[in-house]
Structures are given as C-alpha cells and as structure tokens.
Amino acid sequence: MAIELKVKTMAEYLASGETPEVLFWVGCAGSFDDRAKKITKAIVKILNHVGIKFAVLGTEEACTGDPAKRAGNEFLFQMQAMNNITVLNGYNVKKIVTGCPHCFNTLKNEYPQLGGNYEVIHHTQLVQQLIESGKLKVEGGSFKGKKITFHDPCYLGRGNDVYEAPREVIQKLDIELAEMKRSRSKGFCCGAGGAQMFKEAEKGNKEVNIERTEEALALNPEVIATGCPFCMTMMTDGVKHFNKEQQTKVLDVAELVAQNINE
C-alpha cells in the first residue's frame, strides 16, 4: 500500500520562515527498523490527516542516548543529550511527539536537567487528545468487534504513569479490549528495555518475550497492540515463536488508528 507522505524537516520549515506546531521525534528504531518504520508512517498519516503542522529533524536527529544510559554509559548519554539539546534549542522547539516510549521518557524526564525543556508527549497521548477534541474521528472498521489486548510498554506505563491514553484510543475502535492479568502497573516487560534489546539475554530458563507473548496469546486475541517499537519487535518474535502469526497480529496503536481513519 503506497501512502503519500508529507514530511518536512525542521530545516525546511526554518528556510520557509514558518514554525511547525510540533516536532515529531522519530527515534532510531522508527528511522531504521523495517517494522518500526511502518509505525512511523502510520503516525505521519495521522498527523497529515488532521493537518497538524509538524516537522522532523531528519538527518539532524541522533539517538537520545537512552540505551547508553540504561547500559551505564552516562558519558555517552550526556554527550548525545547535549548535542541533541543544542539542535532542539537551536530550532526553538517547544513541543515534541514521539512514537518511542524510551525517547519519550528520556526527552521528557532526563533532558531538562541538562538544559532541554520541552513539552513531550507520546503518540498515543496525542491521538487520544485529537479524538477527545473532535479533530480525529476513528471507528472500528476492519477491527470492529475483534478482540485486542494491549501490552503496556514499561517506559510509558510504570515509567511515566501513562496507562489510559492507549486504552482509550483502542476502545474507540469499537473492539473488545481484553486485559492480560499482568497489565497496567503490574505489566510484564517485553524483555528489551534497559539495553537488553542490543544483547543476548542472560542465562535463564525462558526468554522474557516468550513468557509475555504466551500470556497475551492465552487470551486468543486477533491483535496484540503495543505502543513501543521495542515491544513490537519482542512481541512479533514471540508470536512467530508460537507459529501464531496467522491468527494474531502485532500492531502499534498508531497503526490501528491509521488503518481506520474516517476519510
């Protein structure tokens, strides 16, 4: 499916003398990971649909430093942070939306002490606000009546107490929201946080994502919804592990919405 994307960079806005309402922080996964790029495009589709003037940093964006910080390399984190803050402040950025809970957490909570103060929201919060204010109308469409379960990303949920925004968005799709026993503040990690995404797990008797996917699949959902590119990778691998990719799709909340926007 070819989607016509309208994407402008901060530099382009600056050149045209205009100011965007919001900066869309794409993140490394959203920029480079083939699966996560689809989430990025879904977010852009929503932003285009409601006509929000947004910009991306494009080649001027660099890793927030989250994985470096969680791995213990505070030097590298702060180097990344200060360089990014220089770029963001240079463009006088006020508001940021991002599709990655790790970028969200770092930009929102860890940049202020280093001189970067922005209003940062996660894309599920933005979508929820757009629906609330009537700017965005979504309906079930292809998902109507289907069973969906939501996996809470740690850095969105426990990390920042955002539990309801993604759920409210999913509920708008006219579907059946099935909760796993371990959800919200008791949510179970996908296994990728804390820089685990980039290394083999330590020795154990099971992979964390297998345990989590098993729990989700026990509900027999048609969709496992996520709000994080790392969770996406881990849950997708989990579903493949159980050979359930025919029955159960893993989709980001943004993709659920983008596929069912009222044109």
Partner 1 sequence: MGIANIIFILLLGGATAWFTINFKKVIRNIRLGRDADFSDNKSQRWLTMTRVALGQSKMLTRPTPAILHIFVYVGFVLINIEVLEMLVDGALGTHRSLSFMGDFYNFLISFFEVLAFLVTFGCAVFLIRRNVLHIKRFTDKELDGWPRSDANIILTSEILLMSALFLMNAADQVLQSRGYGHYIQAGSFPISHYITPMLSGISDDGLVMIERVCWWFHIIGILGFLNYLPYSKHFHILLAFPNTYFSNLKPKGQFTNPESVTNEVKAMLDTTFTPPPADPNKPMRFGAKDVYDLTWKQLLDAYSCTECGRCTSSCPANQTGKLLSPRKIMMDTRDRLEEVGKNIDTNGEFRDDGKGLGNYISNEELWACTSCSACVQECPVNIDPLSIIIDMRRYLVMEQSAAPQELNLMLTNIENNGAPWQFSPADRLNWAKEN
Q: Which is nearer to partner 1, 4 or 133 (CB)?
A: 4
Can you tell me the distance from the alpha carbon of 106 to that of 92, in angstroms, rounded to the nearest whole number?
18
Residues sharing a CB contact under 8 Å with residue 115, sequence separation 6 or more, in sequence order:
82, 85, 89
Residues sharing a CB contact under 8 Å with residue 122, sequence separation 6 or more, in sequence order:
97, 98, 99, 101, 104, 156, 162, 165, 227
Stretch that binds partner 1, among 68-76, 136-144, 221-229, 247-255 (CB under 8 A): 68-76
Pick the binder of partner 1 from 15, 75, 119, 135 (CB under 8 A).
75
Stretch that binds partner 1, among 15-23, 141-149, 163-171, 187-195 (CB under 8 A): 187-195
- Contact between 42 and 257 (Cβ < 8 Å): yes
DSSP state of 167: H
67 makes contact with partner 1 (CB under 8 A): yes
CB atoms within 10 A of CB 253: 28
What's the closest the beta carbon of residue 173 comes to partner 1, in angstroms? Answer: 25
188 makes contact with partner 1 (CB under 8 A): yes
Give, as ranges, the residues between 226 and 245 that touch partner 1 (CB under 8 A): none
124 makes contact with partner 1 (CB under 8 A): no
Give, as ranges, the residues between 24 and 43 that touch partner 1 (CB under 8 A): 26, 28, 30-33, 37, 40-41
Which burial class, exposed, middle or buried, applies to 87 when counting CB atoms under 10 A from its CB (0-12, 13-18, 19+)? middle
Stretch that binds partner 1, among 117-125, 138-146, 196-204, 216-224 (CB under 8 A): 196-204
